[in-house]
Every structure is written in C-alpha cells, then in structure tokens.
Amino acid sequence: MLKHRRENKVVHVLHCWRCNSYSTPNRYQLKDGGAVCGLCGDKNPLGSLVRLPLILVTEPHIIYVAFTRSGKHAHGLHTDLKTALGPWVVFASGDVLERALVYLGMTPEQLEHHRDGMRRWGQGTSKLTIQPHRKNLLRIDYTKL
C-alpha cells in the first residue's frame, strides 16, 4: 500500500485566538480541556482546532500586501491580486508595518521595493514571502491560500 504524500496530509491545526497564528500539532499542547499555543502561551478552546492540509502551514507562501495611508493600514492579497486573505489591519505607523513585514519574512529586496512605494506614493502593493510558524500579524485566513 502506498503512503500518503506529505503535502496531501490533513492535520488538526490550532488557530489561536490571541496571536491569530496557525500552529501545527508539534507547536501546541493539549491541556486541561484546551489547547495551549506554543507562540503566545494562551489557552484556547478545542473548537479552535481546524483541519488543514499540512503544506499550508509548513511551507512559505508568496502573497501581496496592500498598504495605504502611509503604511498605517494593510491587508494580505492572494497572488491573483483580487482575493483578500484577511481584513484591513491598522498599524501605529509605517515603521511598525515595516517591522511586521520583516518579521513575517520579507526579504531585503522586497523591503526595498516596499520602501520605494511608500516614499513615492504612500500606498501600494508589496510582494511578501510569508514564513511558517510566525504570529499572524496580518490575520491571513490560510484556507484561502
């Protein structure tokens, strides 16, 4: 009998209420009738466990980040640039958004493109290679990837 390919494997993933991250089974613990997030340490109800393909939460993905108002508002877009992956998120300033994008996995070339758009127009769209096992600062819905 053939084994299932890893990318087709569906597992229970914790969608944390506090940090909004998606954690694989080796990144959370089941304790006292709930699931404890490995990133923020918050206890979540068992209803926060969702079934997703393993590849969605363990592989890097390319998305686009639309930003406006000098970087204070941003949200994630699918590579088709039409499908919104989450709501608009408000940041304190453009610098805070920039630090969040670097945390999520923006490369130096992508960061330079983002700064160029910010300097020229104050708004735009930047490419982002989002890394797995990070706090979901852009509140991306992984089921839409």
What are the residue boundaries of the structural domains of the chain, listed by start? 6-57, 61-144
Give dist(CA 144, CA 55) in Å, integer. Answer: 13
Q: Give pLDDT tens digits for 68-88.
A: 877 789 999 999 999 999 999
Least confident of 1-5, 24-28, 65-69: 1-5
Give the pLDDT confidence score for residue 34 in this predicted structure.
Answer: 92
Determine the average pLDDT of the residues in 100-123.
Answer: 91
Is the separation of the CB atoms in 84 and 100 below 8 Å?
Answer: no
pTM of the model: 0.82
Name the one residue in this structure whose structure tokens are 């708004």. 123
DSSP 3-state assignment of 84?
strand
Give the pLDDT confidence score for residue 7 in this predicted structure.
Answer: 57
Give the pLDDT confidence score for residue 5 in this predicted structure.
Answer: 62
DSSP run (H or E) holding 23:
strand 22-23
The answer, yes or no, to whether residue 55 has pLDDT greater than 90, is no
Mean pLDDT, the chain, integer: 89
